[in-house]
Structure 1
């Protein structure tokens, strides 16, 4: 009988400590899905400042435009159609002058979440995935005041 009580006493703390109530609250981060309306609000522009390059993405009317800014000029600009489904960011790249030149559309699916850390910090956008378009930065983006 003592063994049963001992076993139950050992298992009880594991039942309460083994699982987190909210798996999206790790290390002070709160993660949530983001909507197209939220992404397009304000300037609709998010930026990632790297060592030599700043990456911008702009969400507007179902389109996502990615910009690569380097050496005081825009090096690369790409246009995609986008949609959000839960934590999935679906991108479609249409061929240039599709009606005239033809070609096939390219499809990409990435993960997108909005993260908040602490009370005084702005939300940050995280885009991840292995299936990213060429020259599309995946990682952390912050809301930008730049209007593109």
Structure 2
């Protein structure tokens, strides 16, 4: 798709920073948690099983890298993914990692969680049974 053009060095550097942010288990867990909805620090801490101060530090890094954004409601700050590109990057990274393991990747099975998200609206989700037309084999 873009093989004929060279990525400018400054842009490649930004890509490296994004991947650097993804190179931490807690940050990946936080980002994955945010693919469905926004959450507060305490909700995220409970969800990923880490102390709130630790999660808060990771969120600060993710925010500086423009991977998450904040919304204040009273004294509570809610975090969400910065945009749909970040959401898709996280989903694709998780799904790609599932292919490295044994067996059928979770997102290709019927109970695959986000399988319906990954499928275009006019096609069944990955792993969903295919209905055959009468007379076809």
Could you tell me the TM-score, scaled by structure 1's length?
0.21
Q: Which has the larger radius of gyration?
A: 1
Which of 1 and 2 has higher RCO (CA within 8 Å, sep 6+)? 1
- Structure having the higher helix fraction is 2
- Structure having the higher strand fraction is 1
Could you tell me the TM-score, scaled by structure 2's length?
0.22
